[in-house]
Amino acid sequence: MNDLRDALIRAKRGDELSFAILYRAVQPGLLRYLRALVADDAEDVAADTWLQIARDIGGFHGGGDALRCWIATVGRHRAMDHLRRMRRRPVSVAVADGETPSAEDAADRALTSVGTDAALAMITALPRDQAEAVLLRVVMGLDAPAAGRVLGKRAGAVRTAAYRGLRRLADHLTHSDTPVTWTLPLDTGGTPARSTTLKDIG
Amino acid sequence: MNPSHRYGLDRAVAEQLLAGRPAWPSTADPRLLGLLAAAAAPARKAELAGEGAVVDAFRCHHPSPAVFPEPLPLPRSRLAGPLPVRLAAAATLGVAGVGVAAFAGTLPGPGPVYETPGSPHPPETSSVTPRRKPAPSLLDLCTAWLAQPPGERNSTSAFAALATAAGGADRVNAYCTSLAGVPSAPGPESPAVAPAGPGNTGRTAGGSGRD
């Protein structure tokens, strides 16, 4: 995205504040994507990814979109290396029934919410090519050609996989007891002071 | 029913959702919109826990850029991009009669969700508060600048460099209080032009302006 362009230019010159801006912009999506590949090891793989980005960003050429594509590519390679070392296959996380809160009555039910982790778990439970396509598009913010570059596929194949993924998600939502609303989760690990601020915002 | 149009989801609609630009209103299931918005929600604090180590590593590879060659950008940080906001807006407003309106009350807006507790900062300056140790040279300059009597600050040699780094002379105070981790109270942006009104003598006013 173009919003990263200025920070990228300055980070390449060695400005660490700008590098921190890039980290904050891209890391959440990277972590959520990697979690679909390596589950609880996603933090470690993401850290390895950023070490490489920090080392090589001076020689990087491209804008904000290309940066996201590059970071996703590095992250995916790191995840695959990690899986090879661990000699296991990418994770497939089943959606736990318990993640859907049970509503006490119809009125409460309309306000029941499920957050980011449950949403990601549902996407991760898709067949892997669909999960990766959806996550790279929705969470990493890549377009279809860029996601294709990350995955080594054509853009059309990524579109098809993501489309099938969305249909499967819609099917799951329709036939499951999933609540109507989803909440954009505010950080539940925040301090009391922060909670107050959020209430003020809300 | 044609399977490809079940759930109001054909390829064109799917592409809109994936690109974060759902139609208004969207034919897609609002629950799906909500799910995607939740998946792309802004950063949670725990997701950024590794920032210090990553920036330390960056510093090792890019030693001591003492003063930024151009004004520091400090753009508004959109951690997960505008996607969740757009999806959420569509989920909230695009479909009537479904309880997705609860969504709206939880939306934090386009800015970041997290914030460093105890260090408020002027929103017009930046939505990014440096949370880890900044470059020593700039921190040192800020510390020295903040230690000066308010009336003399802007004649110091550090001021020009700090004004460059902060993106303007009127941003130096906010920049330095943010860098130095000093909780900044609402007050004049620039101590040098702090009004010396009744009961507000210069020295005292400046002293309160930088705490």
Is the same domain home to B102 and B194?
A: no
In a domain, B50, yes or no: no
pLDDT digits (tens, 9 = 90+) for B181-203: 655 444 444 444 434 444 444 44
User: Quick one: pLDDT band at residue B148, thresholds 50, 70, 90?
Assistant: confident
Is the same domain home to B88 and B181?
A: no
A129 touches chain B (CB under 8 A): no
CB contact under 8 A, A198 and B108: yes
* Closest chain B CA to residue A111: B102
Is the same domain home to A10 and A39?
A: yes
In a domain, B113, yes or no: no
Measured between beta carbons, which residues in chain A are less than 8 angstroms from residue B36? 119, 138
* Measured distance CA(B7)–CA(B14) in Å, rounded: 11
User: Quick one: pLDDT band at residue B23, thresholds 50, 70, 90?
Assistant: confident
CB nearest B83 (choices: A7, A134, A141): A141
Angle at A172 between CA A167 and CA A175, to 5 degrees: 120
CB nearest A111 (choices: B80, B102, B113): B102
* Closest chain B CA to residue A143: B19
In a domain, A16, yes or no: yes
In a domain, B29, yes or no: yes
Task: Tell me the DSSP string of chain B.
Answer: --GGGGGG--HHHHHHHHTT---SS-SS-HHHHHHHHHHTPPPPGGGGTTHHHHHHHHHHHS----S-SS----PPP-TT-SHHHHHHHHHHHSSTTSGGGHHHHH---SS-S---TT----TTT-S----S---HHHHHHHHHHHHS-GGGGGGSHHHHHHHHHHTSGGGHHHHHHHHTTPPPPS--S-GGG----TT--HHHHHHHHT-
Judge whether residue A11 has pLDDT over 60. yes
* Closest chain B CA to residue A201: B108
Q: How far is A137 from chain B (nearest CA, A)?
A: 6
Look at residues A86, A105, A129 and tell me which one is the last residue of a structural domain. A86
Check which CATH number belongs to the domain holding A32 and give it.
1.10.1740.10
Asked if ipTM goes beyond 0.85, one says no
Range of the domain at B190: 136-209
pLDDT digits (tens, 9 = 90+) for A155-164: 999 999 999 9
Is the same domain home to A55 and A114?
A: no
Mean pLDDT, range A136-154, rounded to an integer: 97
Number of separate domains in chain B? 2
Is the same domain home to B95 and B150?
A: no
A28 touches chain B (CB under 8 A): yes
Judge whether residue A201 has pLDDT over 80. no
Range of the domain at A68: 2-86
Q: Tell me what pLDDT residue A189 has.
A: 40
**pLDDT averaged over every residue in chain B:** 62
Highest mean pLDDT among A125-129, B17-21, B114-118, B132-136: A125-129
Task: Tell me the DSSP string of A85-148.
Answer: HHT-PPP-PPPPGGGSPPPSSHHHHHH----HHHHHHHHHTS-HHHHHHHHHHHTS---HHHHH
CB nearest A20 (choices: B18, B51, B91): B51
